[in-house]
A and B are shown apart, each in its own frame.
Chain A
């Protein structure tokens, strides 16, 4: 077997694409081929449709796909968090049933964690799950649930024991979103989009085998999901690929992918804007001439420095990891630094757009994109764990500073709550 170098991998995937890529296959047929060959999610383990590749090798594969315009495995939304959670805690039956359809894009997922009464304090969940016969019966309400309106499956955190301490009484389930007991109502956000929802569960049913891990072990499973969510917030871009225009052959699969994007990706069209669109700052400053303003120059340079330093910090974290060394503090900072970047970006966009930053839609700069940045950035420091929670985590886990005093010990029943 040849050595796993970037060059060998590049040659292998290139040859495979040459032999197999067909832009007129259906999306699902093509992606099933990817799953079988291990190109769909190459970082997954070899026994589950992957190749156990490092981030660097995955990048090589992404570049080769992008070079000829080949469609990749489905990646959007909560699906990869669901997969990561199931890979770690699921049974072989779970993996067989869900993982392939995650890559093919046949199923979409949502994360049913936050509730009206518990967001940062996720372990305070009061959605209840009671075992009746062979089914778990679910009652309660979830909120801020991204993509629930088109999700097929939900990652559900619910309480199974009210007398245990709060972290011990939670259990993790996979719930079928298409059932009469589950009602989804979209919630409109301050930026006008409605990517998150309220989810009402009334005697909703979860088959017994859809319990993940063990009864009472739900908190540990949810931590896995969240750890992956925060890691993905490290802002590492995969880097521009060399596109070989002559090698790109377009076919019906691209139309199908566009339709998929239109529905599945619709909730996420504003996500790049919430991260601040650092990429637009310099072009806007140059195009408007605002780059001549001394204050714009200073704030723009601060933004570009911050964004680069953030990216290099993530790369340092990866490099130490790859060298097999214990990860330093730099690995846990990505989520928090993303908030700094986004806020500085919205400041810079406002400075550049000046009076035009009052305008949105087709009247606004860049056909409303700048306005969307300005009203979307506040989500970054809340979604996926607030900045305050990130600071708690960094202080306690990375710096080993004392834990917050607790007022929520003892049976969950007796703890004050909303």
Chain B
């Protein structure tokens, strides 16, 4: 049954956003983000502990029966947006978004959820095996008699998570497996363009795993939808931050005896940028609402949001650097941090082109005239 889409956040949701914005502003300034880039784990365990104790973020979208807060995807997306605004490197995306999307969809009663909710463990999800292919048909990683063999690529937080969720082929089809031990598994951190989002290659050579559930194609699609939507909202946070910082800069920078904000060429670019920012926001917010409303066309909406927002993010990041001039291209200037996040998000969970094709596939499948395709 599908409910109504709300076009405005509720009062509680707005308050939640405000408190997150304040918290991360104080606890995760860019100086701190930069410090974390040089650490091995890439995140600040103390901050993560506070995000758990003070904000209960790890279990935000985990059911109350499992010890979570039982909020919807809308609230989770607000949190994602704020971490994207502050660019806070933390286990939130891998452990509280991805792993929760996976478990909620495939094994909603799995005891691991309760351990994630209370912050006892952090999880990562091993999904992809090559540079593309967000579909189960590509999986060559196999599980035989509770032992996993194969290689998974691009595993977010794969080197640091306590628990790995592994998609693998088995006798039944595709299964979701949980790996808790460090035997017969090698986790190799990869050198990344965006050090705020760490990736690893994980090689299984007969690692002991337990099955959490079997994965149907529809469930797999739903996981891609949920993750794409959360990522789109995280990206909207980054877009907003780039926009705010760039607008502030144009008001300060003086050339030819006037602020650059007074040049029409700059004003017009900022107006167009605002348009892209707000369209992206609308797409991401709508998609988050569509999850909680149980919308039947979730894949369509998810792909619409992911492609719209990631195009807007890259556009905004490029404009931000351009409007800053030379300083925008320096290491010490913060714009580059978000530029790199825009880049890594551009391909994560599928490129814009892939998502747009997925939108049309959805329309073809749902149209009576669909069969007419020449």
Contacts and interface: CB of A to CB of B under 8 A. Distances in A.
Interface of A: 282-283, 286-289, 291-292, 294, 297-298, 300-302, 304-306, 308-310, 312-313, 315-316, 318-320, 322-323, 325, 328-330, 333, 336-337, 340, 388, 390-392, 394-396, 398-399, 401-402, 404-405
B360 A300 contact: yes
A313 B286 CA distance: 10
Interface in B182-218: none
B7 A315 contact: yes
Nearest to A311: B282
A402 B283 contact: no
B243 to A, nearest CB: 10
A255 B122 CA distance: 70
6 contacts: A301-B304, A308-B304, A313-B278, A315-B282, A388-B268, A390-B271
A320 B8 CA distance: 6
B268 A391 contact: yes
Contacts, number: 137
Interface of B: 6-8, 247, 250-251, 258-259, 261-262, 264, 266-268, 270-272, 274-275, 278-283, 285-286, 303-304, 307-308, 353, 355-357, 359-360, 363-364, 367, 369-370, 372-374
Contacts of A298: 353, 356-357
B257 to A, nearest CB: 11
A301 B367 contact: no
Given A316-B285, A333-B274, 11 more contacts: A292-B374, A305-B304, A308-B283, A309-B282, A312-B7, A337-B279, A395-B267, A395-B268, A399-B267, A399-B270, A404-B264
A71 B258 CA distance: 57
Contacts of A398: 271, 274
Contact of A394 (B271, B286, B307, B369): B271
B271 A391 contact: yes
Contact of B357 (A297, A313, A392): A297
A175 to B, nearest CB: 35
B367 A292 contact: no
B37 to A, nearest CB: 32
Contacts of B259: 402
Nearest to A388: B268
B370 to A, nearest CB: 7
A312 B308 contact: no
A391 B272 contact: yes
A306 B364 CA distance: 19
Contact of A291 (B262, B268, B303, B360): B360
A289 B373 contact: yes
Given A292-B373, A305-B359, A320-B8, A401 B285 contact: no
Given A298-B353, A305-B304, A401 B283 contact: no
A359 to B, nearest CB: 20
Contacts of A312: 7, 282-283, 285-286
Nearest to A336: B275
A309 B271 contact: no
Contact of B369 (A286, A325, A392): A286
A399 B274 contact: yes
A339 to B, nearest CB: 10
Contacts of B286: 308, 312
B39 to A, nearest CB: 38
A327 to B, nearest CB: 11
A340 B315 CA distance: 16
Q: Identify the interface centre among A312, A318, A325, A399: most chain B CB within 10 Å of its CB.
A: A312
